[in-house]
Amino acid sequence: MLKALELCRQHPVLPDYQLRRQLRLHKKLIKAEHMKGEEIRSFLFSILGDGDSEKTLRLMHETEILEQVLPEFGLAHCKVNHDFYHHYTADEHSLRIIRFLEEMESAILSNPTDLVTIYKEYPNKKTLKFAALLQSAGTLSGMDGESGLTGFLKFIGDRLHLKTDEKELLEFLIKNIYEMVETALHQDIHQSTVIQKFAQIVDNQE
């Protein structure tokens, strides 16, 4: 089944309804607990390295294979976040974030300091997209508070054998997602005090 998905990636084609049906019917043949952590990480990060990974991830989601490989993403399935920032269900929101990021790859540059340029030069795109997949999982995991979220992210990092820098970046992005949204949408990002406050949170340029 994973081989079929791999072939769809290599020869950018979408499976017909018969193959989609077979993938969905036999999804339970794939179980994360029966796969090595390194195997899952390698498979997912290989997909996330593509410039159009959203298409593959959406196909996996529609056939419910993504939830088998990454059960943490399954927590977001059809979940509604009752806040100002989410206009879609949590799972759809995650996939749209990834699509937005990938659309910047082909966007026309307007100036050397804009978001497109920064993203194109950013070295950790795979981890950024992975964080997008899990952006709602922490709050939906049932593990309360800051310590609960830390434990949840540690569990994922250990299970998938993420590298230390990947774990640290994943934790930062998910823990501070609302702080980043609040700063971008509701603060004057040209004010020195806003810049200084956010710089203290970010801690480093990357």
pLDDT tens column, 155-174: 889 989 999 999 999 999 98
Report domain extents, the chain. Answer: 1-202
Q: What is the largest CA-CA distance in the chain?
A: 57
Write down the mean pLDDT value for the chain.
Answer: 83
**pLDDT value of residue 102:** 92
pLDDT tens column, 44-85: 999 999 999 999 999 999 999 999 998 888 777 666 666 666
Instruction: Look at residues 51, 52, 53, 78 and name the one whose alpha carbon lies nearest to residue 64.
Output: 78
Q: Global pTM? A: 0.84
Angstrom distance (rounded) from CA 26 to CA 65: 9
Q: What DSSP string runs through 56-87?
A: HHHHHHHTTHHHHH-HHHHTTTT----STT-S
**pLDDT value of residue 140:** 56
With a CB cutoff of 8 Å and minimum separation 6, the contacts of 49 are 125, 126
Alpha helices by DSSP H, listed for the chain, are 2-10, 17-25, 37-48, 53-62, 65-69, 71-74, 90-103, 115-121, 125-133, 137-140, 145-159, 164-175, 177-186, 192-202
**pLDDT value of residue 192:** 85
Token output for 182: 């609040």
pLDDT tens column, 4-32: 888 888 888 888 889 889 998 988 888 77
Angstrom distance (rounded) from CA 27 to CA 58: 15
**pLDDT value of residue 110:** 65
Mean pLDDT across 177-204? 81
Instruction: Check: CB of residue 128 under 8 Å from CB of residue 122.
Output: yes
Long-range CB contacts (within 8 A, 24+) of 196-205: 201/176
pLDDT confidence tier of residue 127, bands split at 50, 70 and 90: very high
Query: Regarding predicted confidence, which is higher, 139 or 5?
Result: 5
